[in-house]
Amino acid sequence: MTSFLLQRLVLPRPETTEPLLYVRTQGDVSFANETAVLVKGAELSFDTSFGVFAAGRWKRLTSVDCLSVTVHASGSGRIELVGVGSVVRGLSLQEKIVASSGISSSGKTTLEVPDFA
């Protein structure tokens, strides 16, 4: 199987004036050298203007039939992929966790996106 990088997650730099375009945080999270450091209980979310991955568009407009996400992380924690469904009555989006995993001891965790084909 041939692999291609379709998108990189971008963290805000210290001089960024609008960090919420890149990432949303809960709890104690700091950024340095293209790395995020989370204290126990903190959360980091990429459901933002620059962070979201338009999987539906890729599925509809390309021949991509398998999709996975690889995260480089160390320590203990959980990685969750959240899918967003169609708009409900034009007001809100339906979100659900489509895949999740603990952080691999190797430092590289890959999650397959189910039902992408």
pTM of the model: 0.81
Alpha carbon separation from 21 to 6, 13, 51, 84 (Å, rounded): 19, 12, 8, 18
Question: Is 37 a residue whose pLDDT tops 90?
Answer: yes
**pLDDT band for position 43 (cuts 50, 70, 90):** very high
Strand-strand pairing, 108-112 and 92-102: unpaired
Partner residues linked to 26 by β-bridges: 43
Domain limits of the chain?
A: 10-52, 53-117
Residue 38, classified by CB atoms within 10 Å of its CB into exposed (0-12), middle (13-18) or buried (19+), is middle
Summarize the confidence of residues 37-43 as an average pLDDT: 94
In this structure, is the dihedral angle defined by the CA atoms of residues 12, 35, 50 and 82, taken in order, positive or negative?
negative
Kindly report, residue by residue over 51-103, the tens digit of the pLDDT: 999 888 888 899 988 999 999 999 999 999 998 876 666 666 778 899 999 99
